[in-house]
Structure 1
Amino acid sequence: MGLTSKVVLAVVAAAAVALFAATVWLWPRLARRSAAAVTGRVGLLLATQLTLFASVGLAANNAFLFYGSWADLFGQEQDLGVVTDHTDGEPGPRSMTRIGTQRPDVPGGAVPAAGGRIDKVVISGRRSGIESPAYVYLPPEYFRSGRAGRTFPAVVVLTGYPGTAENLLKGLRYPQTAHERVKAGKAQPMILVMLRPTVAPPRDTECVDIPKGPQTETFFAKDLPEAIAQSYRVGKQARNWGIIGNSTGGYCALKIGLHHPDRYAASAGLSAYYKAAEDPTTGDLFHGNQALRKRADLLWTLENRPPSGGSFLVTTSRQGEGNRDSTMKFIGKVKKPAAVSSIVLDSGGHNFTTWRREIPPALEWLSGRLKAE
């Protein structure tokens, strides 16, 4: 059974209740000072506390989807196969392969022309050498006969660290929200490419090209758009592409958009920070290269590099978020021809509840800045 299964949670919670009851019932018998009695008391208390903590942990994980599977929880790598495509008699790596589909959790989801479709894919970076699983949401309009020749805008959607792509489907409900915004006439149909920024797990690469390490920025700025455009009806110009993320994913979205306005016209960071983290989860990102470290500092880039194009959306709250001051600094440093917008909530913490309040207007903002061809 999966980590997020309600059955697993129910079994562990029932075990905690049963052990608590057993402790109360058996305590008088274990009140003696013999070694067996002491061992029994310690064992019951330890087992009860372990199951209680496990119950709370599973409930919290089910609510916020920190980990999507047992393998993700324990940091086990899941090796992906290498797909080889043969074109014009010359072998070469394929940029993307679809490994499954699922229906969106929307009305009419069983019929693609009514509810759209979610493809589970593996994206293989030609330049970066990185392979990463992802989910691609195709809106209902993609399957309607009257729009067979139309290309659609695409939005790359990133989780935080160490989140999973499933968080974007279950916890943050991106496909459902996009579907609702289109139905309400507040957004245009867009393709969503959903994945986590941790493309070299378990390492947090902060979406930078690490010297002699994972070339994560290259993967998101070049490989991913190329692979998706080759496989789906997506425009190939910057005006056709946006990127959004929360927390670490928000930093990545703003960073990629700031450094690659020729690839992404609009970038949104929900509860983002503005300087690459450097801690045990990241390892040595820059290998002493101060120029790379400064480049990964978005405030430094805005202050010291010539203004670039693109539009940016940042979010924070007056109470509950720790990024308010840095967000205000980011807003103040954006200069033309770039443009910046913001969402500032009265209160809201660094969590899914806050991001679910920001995603609908953020998708509307992206929709207004991207073009279909």
Structure 2
Amino acid sequence: MGLTSDKVLWAAVSAAVLLFVGTVLLWPRLARRGLWAVCGRVGLLLAVQLALFAAAGLAANRSFGFYASWDDLFGREKDQGVVVDHAAGGGAGGARLEVVGSERLAGAPGARAAGGTVEEVRVVGRTSRIASPAYVYLPPEYHRPEYRTHRFRAAVVLTGYPGTARALVDKLHYPRTARDLAARGRMEPMILVMLRPTVAPPRDTECVDVPDGPRTETFFARDLPEAVGAHYRVTGGRGAWGVVGNSTGGYCALKLALHHPEVFGAGAGLSAYYEAPVDATTGDLFHGDVERQNHANLWWYLRHGPAADTSLLVSSSESGETNYRDTLRFIERVKDTRRTRVSSIILESGGHNFNTWRREIPPTLEWMSGRLAAR
């Protein structure tokens, strides 16, 4: 049974309930002196606590999509990391995108037509040699005969760390939100390419080209648009793509838009931070390369890097988010560049969680559609 399955969750909840009831029933028999009685009480209390902790953890994981499988949880996931595939450079365009599954999305409320398609894909990068799973949302217009020659705007959508790409579909509702906004005429129909920034699990590479390691930034800025553009009808040209993410994905989105404005005309960071951390999950990202480290620091890059002709959106809340003051300071720093444009969503309250991001995603997609269509 999978980590996120209903059976596992209900088994944990049932075990917690049974252990609690058993503790209540057995406590009188163990309420006497003696080593075995004391050990029995301690054992029952520990068992109940562990069962409650497991049930709460499984429920939280289902809600927030931290880990996709048992191997992911215990750091044993290896089949979706960096691959060396020399044949990948031999095909048309060099990059590969393979569709491995597809599902139809229901239509918008009150609409008779279908609401588009969500395809599960696997992308292999020509330059980075990174292979990553993803989900691609195709709006309903994509399949209509009158749009058969039309090319659609596209946006990369990133989770936080560790995150699961499926959570972008099921928990954050990106396809459904894009479908509803387009049906109401609030945004242009747009292709969404949804994946997590952890392309070399379980390592958190912070969308950095790690020396002698995963070339994550190259994958997102070069290989992914190339592979998607070769497979789907995506608009080309300077700044035709958007990128949006939450938490770690938000940092990556802002960095990709600043570093690669020729690709990303708009980047939105929801609850983002502005400097790559170096900790146990990331390992040594820079190997002593000060220039690489500076470029990954958005504060430094805004002041010393080339001014980027792109649009940025940042979000935070006055109560509940730790990045509030940094976000206000980041807005002022961007305004000083006089070329990069910046917008913001500041809530009165909202934590670092899916509920907050679901409140911010509709205006974010509407903002992004307007910025890309205007270019």
Which structure 2 residues correspond to residues 1-373 of structure 1 after superposition, within 5 A? 1-79=1-79, 94-104=95-105, 106-107=107-108, 114-334=114-334, 335-371=337-373
**Contact 2:239–2:310 under 8 Å retained in 1:** no
**Contact 1:84–1:93 under 8 Å retained in 2:** no
Q: CA deviation at 1:35?
A: 4.6
Structure 2: which 5+ runs fail to align?
none
- In the aligned structure 1, how far is the partner of 2:196 from the partner of 2:324? 24
Q: Bigger shift: 70-79 or 183-192?
A: 70-79
Q: CA deviation at 1:355?
A: 0.6
Q: Tell me, what secondary structure is at the counterpart of 2:212?
A: coil
**Contact 1:84–1:91 under 8 Å retained in 2:** no
Aligned-partner residue type, residue 251 of structure 2: Y
Aligned-partner residue type, residue 369 of structure 1: R
Q: CA deviation at 1:18?
A: 1.2
Percent identity, aligned pairs only? 58
- In the aligned structure 1, how far is the partner of 2:347 from the partner of 2:299? 22
- In the aligned structure 1, how far is the partner of 2:153 from the partner of 2:37? 68
Q: 1:372 to 1:140 in 2, by over 3 A?
A: farther
Q: Tell me, what secondary structure is at the counterpart of 1:127?
A: coil
**Contact 2:164–2:196 under 8 Å retained in 1:** yes
Q: CA deviation at 1:46?
A: 2.1
**Contact 1:95–1:227 under 8 Å retained in 2:** yes
**Contact 1:239–1:264 under 8 Å retained in 2:** yes
Q: 1:62 to 1:98 in 2, by over 3 A?
A: same
- In the aligned structure 2, how far is the partner of 1:25 from the partner of 1:86? 64
Q: CA deviation at 1:370?
A: 1.6
- In the aligned structure 2, how far is the partner of 1:294 from the partner of 1:239? 24
**Contact 1:309–1:336 under 8 Å retained in 2:** no
- In the aligned structure 2, how far is the partner of 1:299 from the partner of 1:94? 33
- In the aligned structure 2, how far is the partner of 1:295 from the partner of 1:329? 18
- In the aligned structure 1, how far is the partner of 2:61 from the partner of 2:89? 44
Q: CA deviation at 1:47?
A: 1.7
Q: What TM-score comes out, normalization by structure 2 length?
A: 0.92
Aligned-partner residue type, residue 340 of structure 2: A
Q: CA deviation at 1:299?
A: 1.4
Q: CA deviation at 1:57?
A: 1.3
- In the aligned structure 2, how far is the partner of 1:92 from the partner of 1:172? 32
Q: CA deviation at 1:83?
A: 8.3
Q: CA deviation at 1:241?
A: 0.6
Q: CA deviation at 1:78?
A: 4.4
- In the aligned structure 2, how far is the partner of 1:191 from the partner of 1:87? 25
Q: CA deviation at 1:367?
A: 0.5
CA RMSD of aligned residues (A): 2.4
Q: 1:166 to 1:260 in 2, by over 3 A?
A: same
**Contact 2:121–2:134 under 8 Å retained in 1:** yes
Structure 1: which 5+ runs fail to align?
none
- In the aligned structure 1, how far is the partner of 2:41 from the partner of 2:246? 46
- In the aligned structure 2, how far is the partner of 1:130 from the partner of 1:216? 8
Aligned-partner residue type, residue 188 of structure 1: E
- In the aligned structure 1, how far is the partner of 2:314 from the partner of 2:47? 46
Q: Tell me, what secondary structure is at the counterpart of 1:192?
A: strand
- In the aligned structure 1, how far is the partner of 2:369 from the partner of 2:55? 41
Q: Tell me, what secondary structure is at the counterpart of 2:253?
A: helix
Q: Tell me, what secondary structure is at the counterpart of 2:192?
A: strand
**Contact 1:83–1:93 under 8 Å retained in 2:** no
Q: 1:262 to 1:239 in 2, by over 3 A?
A: closer
The count of corresponding residues between Structure 1 and Structure 2 is 369
- In the aligned structure 2, how far is the partner of 1:341 from the partner of 1:93? 36
Q: CA deviation at 1:325?
A: 1.9
Q: Bigger shift: 314-323 or 70-79?
A: 70-79
Q: CA deviation at 1:105?
A: 5.2
